[in-house]
Amino acid sequence: MHLQSLSLVNYKNFESESFSFDPKINCFVGNNGIGKTNVLDAIYHLSYGKSYFNPITTQNIRHGEEFFVIEGLYKKNEHDEKVVVSAKRGQKKLIKRNGKAYDKFSEHIGFLPLVIISPADRDLIIEGSETRRKFMDGVISQGDSHYLQQLINYNKVLLQRNSLLKYFAANNTYNQDTLEVYNQQLHTLGTPIFEKRTEFLEAFTPIFLKRYASISSGSETVSLNYTSQIQEKPLLTLFQEYLTKDKVTQYTNVGIHKDDLLFEIDGHPIKKFGSQGQQKSYLIALKLAQFDFIKSQSKVTPILLLDDIFDKLDEQRVEHLISLVDNEDFGQLFISDTHANRTEEVVKKVHQTYKMFPLGKFDQTDTP
């Protein structure tokens, strides 16, 4: 699978722009602030139905305009596939495949597998558990639409239970029978989600460890562990134990929405004890393991986006990443960078076809 062409109208800083791509390597080069990352984000948008960097739809519409349109033409399994994502202020976003709109966005997830490696990935280490859960759920959902629907349903019931707890507090009342209905629903939905996450980590962790070993020159030992409150007790039991706290906080304090992934190096949290280089290697290994896992599940080679890589990664890691496309296991690659010459020199080291896309004005030394 590869993206043949991309058309943008009123998307972020682009008024109207079109690109025709190489099936292997495509490089967007130019100064900061001219839209290199925005092009990559548009490609991400076509796969996931949302921006990687700003999920608020209206904030992706060009300033002063009323709508945006992103159109991508793909070649997948020898067939042309046209995907269009469009949004208009005050209206619901639309995703169309070959002219037909999806009833549910979730039906599109996994159709165009894609992995992005970006400086924003550091949030996986420094932010809270929600960010890591989203990563885990995103990887699983790419190949399991049933899991995604269960997750959506769980979050709907969770909101209803939290609203009920707030209602109890506001009206100084309590109804155990009503609460039990939500408890049972969350248990029924949450338990298989927990089991699927457990199964996923068992398959994913060895892939991750292999990737880390291949890109890290250090002798340190890293680990990736899944933690959940329901590893110890069933969810229905936990609801009983946390009832008093739930009533006080007006919030559901137990469930699979509190799960986390523990990133460790030599037995310690990588957030506190890992160097910048070790953290970067850890994140790249995570994303490449995501690539491997999605490919094995979907039987389709994901598109790989490398955003702003030279400014955030050392040249050795960049060359390692780009050299991966020399391997027939990898497909189409998109790169953004501030220096055209630097990017082209690295790209030339792999023996694949490529295209350079200069955006904005360059210094003379950066002219491709």
Sign of the alpha-carbon dihedral angle for 140, 262, 125, 186: positive
Determine the average pLDDT of the residues in 127-138.
95
User: From CA 108, how far away is CA 31, in angstroms rounded?
Assistant: 34
Tokens of 337: 């960078």
Burial of 287 (0-12, 13-18, 19+ CB in 10 A): buried
162-171, 182-191, 351-360: lowest mean pLDDT where? 351-360
* Amino acid found at 348: K
Answer yes or no: is pLDDT of 363 > 60.
Answer: no
Task: Compute the average pLDDT of residues 216-228.
Answer: 87
The DSSP bridge pattern shows strands 222-227 and 260-265 to be antiparallel
Distance between CA atoms of 346 and 112, rounded to whole angstroms?
27
Q: Are 265 and 278 in contact (CB under 8 A)?
A: yes
DSSP 3-state assignment of 235? helix
Segment 130-150 mean pLDDT: 93
Q: How confident is the model at residue 31 (pLDDT cuts 50, 70, 90)?
A: confident
Residues 19, 75: Cα–Cα separation, whole Å: 15
User: What are the contacts of 59-62 at 24+ separation with CB within 8 A?
Assistant: 60/11, 60/12, 60/87, 61/10, 61/11, 61/87, 61/89, 62/10, 62/11, 62/12, 62/13, 62/14, 62/15
List, in sequence order, every residue forming a beta bridge with 17; answer none if it has no partner.
8
pLDDT at 308: 85
Per-residue pLDDT band for 98 (boundaries 50, 70, 90) equals very high
pTM above 0.85, yes or no: yes
Res 368 pLDDT > 50:
no
Q: What is the pLDDT, as a whole number, of residue 366?
A: 34
- Across the range 102-113, mean pLDDT stands at 91
Q: Provide the percentage of residues in the chain whose pLDDT is more than 70.
A: 93
Angle at which helix 145-171 crosses helix 176-215, to 10 degrees, equals 140
Mean pLDDT, the chain, rounded, equals 91
pLDDT score, position 325: 61
Task: Read off the pLDDT of each residue in 28-53 and give the average, rounded to a whole number.
Answer: 93
Average pLDDT on 24-43 reads 92
What per-residue confidence (pLDDT) applies to 311?
65
Question: Which domains occur in the chain, in start order?
Answer: 1-113+300-368 (3.40.50.300), 128-298 (1.20.1050.90)
| pLDDT tens-digit map of 54-92 | 989 999 999 999 999 999 999 999 999 999 999 999 999
Torsion of CA 233, 236, 238, 242, to 10 degrees: 180
Three-class SS state of 241? helix
Q: Is the pLDDT of residue 220 over 70?
A: yes
Tokens matching residue 122: 């550091």
Residue 362 banded pLDDT, cuts 50, 70, 90: very low
High-pLDDT (> 90) share of the chain, %? 74
Nearest CA to 10 out of 85, 78, 109, 74 is that of 85
- What residues does 222 pair with on adjacent strands? 265
Asked if 53 and 120 touch (Cβ cutoff 8 Å), the reply is yes
Where residue 50 falls among pLDDT bands split at 50, 70, 90? very high
Whether residue 342 is predicted with pLDDT greater than 60 in this model: the reply is yes
- Up-side HSE of residue 234: CA atoms within 13 Å toward CB? 8
